[in-house]
Amino acid sequence: MLPLYITSGEPAGIGPDICLSLADRVDERPIVVLADINMLRDRAKILNREVDIIAYQQQQQSSAQGQLYVEHVPLYEDVELGELNPKNSAYVLEQLRRSADYAMQGQSVGVATAPVQKSVINDAGMHFSGHTEYYQEFAGVERVVMMLATKTLRVALATTHLALRDVADAITTVRLHQVLDILIHDLKTKFKIEHPRILVCGLNPHAGEGGYLGHEEIDIINPVLESYRAQGINISLSLPADTLFTPEHLKDTDAVLAMYHDQGLPVLKSQGFGEAINITLGLPFIRTSVDHGTALSLAGTGQAKSSSLHVAVDLALDLARH
């Protein structure tokens, strides 16, 4: 059975810690961590965890409880807990490269990712804006959609890692059509929601207040939304984001489309931080991720929570069954 690969992320952070917790699982499909195997063994000793770390070989069956499959990716330098080292940035990117390559070659069902530190990768002279953009470029697709989800709420983003001053210019008719096509398609095919109901945030306060607080809703957003409504898609016109995320509005809603990163994600994370996951829609393979960062100060302390990684793995495995 094809494996699900897990990237262990930034080695100085909590990625290796939470990956070790995967040894507590028993899954029908092999779960394989991409990491330096010696670093993981050292981290297990620091955390006082008894984990049987096994070098993975293709076609192996699911591991038993207490066992963890690892594909060795060698570090460039030894890790100091909580201390970022640009010299290990290539190690982090090699995890992503392998995970994407295996998925694209049909050697895995997809990938779930532990957190990386964007700043140190860029400090190493390698342009990196995030997992989402990396996998998009590797897969050669024109557009992907970043969506975070809890048990009760899904929030997709029209734009991802952009400076706020650049967001309005990025909200174009073409982009919105691309994002909505992907969102609707993947809700139907990956999540098996036959007739998804989608609410859409306006860009401006009060969704532009009829043009008094901005014209993007009138000129761009609503005309695009009207075109989908004309096709029978159950989608709202742009709504004020400050009142959209209320129980009355969210009742029976399958997904919310926010215009930018910090419009929708603070609400979602306030509802389910540690239990939320990130899903990249529009890729030709499954990719899920944790909803948190590297938490450098918690590395090796035993205080890192692994719940988001387990939810990400659960969703990836569930999507792989469809």
Binding-site residue numbers for a divalent metal cation are: 161, 206, 261
H/E run at residue 54: strand 52-55
Q: Which tokens go with 164? A: 């706020």
Q: Specify the amino acid at residue 225.
A: L
Q: Which residue from 223, 206, 222 is spatially nearest to 214, judged by alpha carbons?
A: 206
CB atoms within 10 A of CB 277: 23
Q: Which residue from 106, 109, 95, 103 is spatially nearest to 31, judged by alpha carbons?
A: 109
Q: What is the 3-state secondary structure (H, E, C) of 172-206?
A: CHHHHHHHHHHHHHHHHHCCCCCCCEEEEECCCHH
* Binding site members: 131-132, 161, 206, 261, 269, 278, 287
Q: Which residues pair with 199 in a beta bridge?
A: 256
Axis-axis angle for helices 222-229, 173-189 (nearest 10)? 40
Q: Specify the amino acid at residue 244.
A: L
Q: Parallel, antiparallel, or unpaired: how do β-strands 145-149 and 67-72 relate?
A: unpaired
* Binding site members for substrate: 131-132, 269, 278, 287
Q: Parallel, antiparallel, or unpaired: how do β-strands 110-113 and 286-290 relate?
A: parallel
